[in-house]
Structure 1
């Protein structure tokens, strides 16, 4: 085992459009090159228009999700409102930085819409919480090198929801076809101000 981050495999990508954004992950769960499950999504809902995806060690991802939901519930009780995507990025970064001397082996990818401005927020960070908010796309996981190259080709500014869905879907499907640790289909969340559309994609099953 050369890298604990690639032990379970999997990849996540998020992409921004015009007043919309999308986040997608593959469905493979494995132990190194041995496939255990072919229906293991890596994206979790954190709010009405806020989602986070985790690549890396699956058990650490589940631990972080439970701790995040506790902090989200506490915030909503205290402030009587939902947490904004920008604040969520800071909360997750602080949570990871707390454990910097014995860090979680995950790479978060965040996608959300600000409910007031309808501005898409796309961000990722390393396992100790160094965050990067960007205007185009972010990737994580074992197919991240392939994803960055393909996303550079497909991403365009101000994409409408249909174009955005096509761009992120083709990027992920093509990238995971070139990575033995990702694949077996994909799940795409298309986030718009009024709705969230979830679509399951078929991929190569070998």
Structure 2
């Protein structure tokens, strides 16, 4: 979740509640597409006084292991894509870098390097974005999380 800190915390708490309720009712893990609908509905409910967040949803279908990635705007309108999405204050800087570096069917190490280059480039140009990046690489059998430090000036 990117956005205003208080809205990010509120949305995260409400989504955690709805996700737990879904998993208790259904007795299974939620699919990324279903989770996207849940997030979209939550944001659309507040369309006249929106939460200032721009969620990115990425995951693998629990059964087919098909990748899914999308982003949503302030009122819950999804943008589903097959390649990449960007979100947050430095999204303009990231978009061009991602377009030039991204290739289909990248290996996890190459994908991590591409993500790292795009994120660090954007963070270096946008002081509001913070001083580091957490990168999650989602594979069929594991999730790799790495933290990158950016300059701190």
Report matched runs for 1:49-198 at 5 Å: 54-198=1-145
Query: TM-score when scaled to structure 2?
Result: 0.96
Deviation sequence 1:83-120 (CA, Å, 0-9, x none)? 00010001100010011111111111111111222211
Deviation sequence 1:6-48 (CA, Å, 0-9, x none)? xxxxxxxxxxxxxxxxxxxxxxxxxxxxxxxxxxxxxxxxxxx
- Residues in 2 aligned to 1:135 and 1:193: alpha-carbon distance in whole angstroms: 17
Quote the residue 1:24 is aligned against: none
CA shift, 1:203, in A, is 1.5
* Gap runs ≥5 in structure 1: 1-53
**Structure number with higher strand proportion:** 1
* Gap runs ≥5 in structure 2: none
CA shift, 1:180, in A, is 2.0
1:112 touches 1:191 (CA, 8 Å); kept in 2? yes
Paired residue secondary structure (1:170): helix
Taking only aligned residues, the RMSD between alpha carbons, in angstroms, comes to 0.9
CA shift, 1:183, in A, is 3.4
Paired residue secondary structure (2:64): coil
1:177 touches 1:183 (CA, 8 Å); kept in 2? no
Paired residue secondary structure (1:101): coil
- Residues in 1 aligned to 2:105 and 2:13: alpha-carbon distance in whole angstroms: 34
Runs of 4+ in 1 over 3 A off after TM superposition: none
Paired residue secondary structure (2:147): strand
How many residues are paired up? 153
**Structure number with higher helix proportion:** 2
Greater RCO, 1 or 2 (C-alpha within 8 Å, sep 6+): 1
CA shift, 1:179, in A, is 1.1
1:115 touches 1:193 (CA, 8 Å); kept in 2? no
CA shift, 1:75, in A, is 0.8
2:29 touches 2:62 (CA, 8 Å); kept in 1? no
- Residues in 2 aligned to 1:61 and 1:180: alpha-carbon distance in whole angstroms: 19
